[in-house]
Amino acid sequence: MTVLLVRHASTAWSGARYSGTGDPPLDERGRRQLPQIAADVRQALGGHIGAAVVCSPSLRARETADAIAAALGAGAPRADPDWREADFGEVEGLTWDELEARFPEIAARILDRAGVDWPGGEPHAAFAARVQRAWSRTVAAAPAVPIVIVAHTGSLRLAASLAGTSIDALAPGEVVRVALDPGEDGRS
């Protein structure tokens, strides 16, 4: 089974500010990225006909998933709220420098690649459990076709770990392919 993990296209906050529950739309660069992202997904699928497209309900993920589904001739993407990004709480909208100045202990945990309990936001254990549910549900729902998951760096990084793969931060529009053995659901 093939699963493609796709980060949404660029927004004005991509790479600049923490955007979890905020929902900035794609910026001009992001809209220009859509045809290339769709082409990258088609290439990663190697001409396989048919795929299930699942996405975070955020506007940026839905717009990206819509472009991919259209290019694949797939039906409308299925939005799953468990694929949304972590709720960053008080960190929402901050730049890295602002986060580092206000929350040095959080910055240190991020640099150590440790799970973060976001101040005023989502605890890491709750976020990980949510992504685990999304992963299990998504993989079980489409056992016979490739799956394309369009979401956010945090949720996709956790999904990759469930598939036995380690990834760092994803650039907007980046596509990562993970393969599961038949019957494997990615549970640890």
Query: Is 85 in the active site?
Result: yes
pTM of the model: 0.92
pLDDT in tens, 94-140: 999 999 999 999 999 999 988 999 999 999 999 999 999 999 999 99
The residues pairing with 175 across neighbouring beta strands, listed in sequence order, are 6
Listed in sequence order, the residues at least 6 apart from 140 whose beta carbon sits closer than 8 Å to its beta carbon are 185
E-assigned strand segments in the chain: 2-7, 52-55, 78-79, 147-151, 175-179
pLDDT in tens, 160-169: 999 999 888 8
- Token duo for residue 17: 């500010």
- Token duo for residue 122: 């989502």
Query: Is 63 in the active site?
Result: no
Q: Which of 63, 85, 92, 122 is catalytic?
A: 85
Question: What does the domain layout of the chain look like in residue ranges?
Answer: 2-88+122-179
The answer regarding whether domain 2-88+122-179 maps to CATH 3.30.450.20 reads no
- Mean per-residue pLDDT, 181-186: 51
